[in-house]
């Protein structure tokens, strides 16, 4: 009788999520920064997988910055209504398959779990009404959205039980997991009002994604 294997958990190192704010007309201060973890290899029985260090980007989500504000090139952190902060991870099923039927035996279902640690309670509380998270998983030319409803909570970014991605990986196949945080434009004033006058960089929370690879029964391969 074919049996499903217990999940292989592949966790990335924690990365910092922040917001770029402004101290006044034509000036700026930032809550932000990012930290790339080392690539991780985890094994569980005969199923193996890796996750890369995060690639951090700040994609544009809106129009121009508010009036009388200049953003320095290379600035990091979310800008409410203007720029998001995204983390991209490459996940690979590195199981070694031999024999005519072996590849299907190591077919892995991919699910996601998010966790976070709030590092600035006042900033997180101010950001909470305006904060959202989205995720996609891309395998080859096919990109699938992941439902993240309910992941933004008063205590942090928490997605559990694991989120379904509708993606499976054979040995040697990879998928790119993209997680994006953004703040709506309405969050600029509330966040700026509680910004420290002496600290330019103050993280809001650290974020850790976990990718679960679950070996599927042969009947599902």
Where are the chain's structural domains?
Answer: 8-220
What pLDDT score does 211 carry? 84
pLDDT of residue 31: 40
Greatest C-alpha distance within the chain: 69
- DSSP conformation class of 200: S
* 216 touches 4 (CB < 8 A): yes
User: pLDDT-based confidence at 195, cuts 50/70/90?
Assistant: low
- Is the predicted pLDDT of residue 105 greater than 70, yes or no? no
pLDDT value at residue 3? 43
Per-residue pLDDT at 146 exceeds 80: yes
Q: 134 pLDDT band (50/70/90 cuts)?
A: very high
Mean pLDDT of 198-218: 72
- How much is the pTM? 0.80
Given a cut of 90, is residue 203 above it in pLDDT? Answer: no
pLDDT at 114 (0 to 100): 84
Contacts of 166 (CB under 8 A, 6+ apart): 144
pLDDT at 56 over 50: yes
pLDDT (0 to 100) of residue 220: 47
| Confidence tier at 2 by pLDDT (50, 70, 90) | very low
User: 65 vs 22, 31, 79, 92, 98, CA distance in Å?
Assistant: 11, 17, 8, 38, 55
- Running DSSP on this structure, what letter comes out for residue 6? P
Q: Flag the least confident range among 31-40, 61-70, 146-155.
A: 31-40
What pLDDT is attached to residue 111? 84
> How far, in Å, are 80, 147, 187 from residue 132 at the CA level?
11, 12, 12
Q: Which structure tokens are listed for 196?
A: 């420290």
Partnered with residue 111 across adjacent β-strands are: 164, 212
């Amino acid at each position: 009788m074919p049996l499903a294997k217990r999940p292989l958990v592949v966790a990335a190192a924690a990365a910092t999520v922040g917001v770029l704010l402004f101290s006044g007309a034509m000036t700026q201060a930032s809550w932000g920064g990012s930290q790339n973890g080392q690539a991780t290899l985890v094994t569980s029985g005969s199923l193996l997988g890796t996750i890369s260090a995060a690639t951090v980007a700040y994609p544009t989500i809106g129009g121009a910055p508010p009036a009388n504000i200049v953003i320095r090139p290379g600035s990091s952190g979310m800008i409410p209504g203007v720029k998001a902060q995204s983390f991209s991870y490459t996940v690979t099923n590195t199981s070694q398959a031999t024999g005519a039927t072996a590849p299907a035996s190591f077919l892995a279902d991919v699910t996601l779990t998010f966790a976070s640690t709030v590092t600035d309670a006042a900033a997180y509380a101010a950001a909470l009404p305006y904060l959202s998270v989205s995720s996609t998983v891309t395998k080859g030319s096919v990109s699938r959205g992941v439902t993240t409803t309910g992941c933004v909570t008063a205590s942090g970014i928490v997605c559990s039980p694991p989120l379904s991605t509708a993606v499976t990986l054979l040995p040697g196949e990879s998928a790119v997991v993209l997680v994006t945080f953004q703040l709506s434009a309405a969050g600029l004033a509330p966040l700026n009002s509680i910004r420290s006058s002496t600290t330019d960089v103050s993280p809001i929370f650290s974020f850790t994604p976990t990718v679960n690879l679950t070996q599927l029964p042969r009947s599902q391969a």
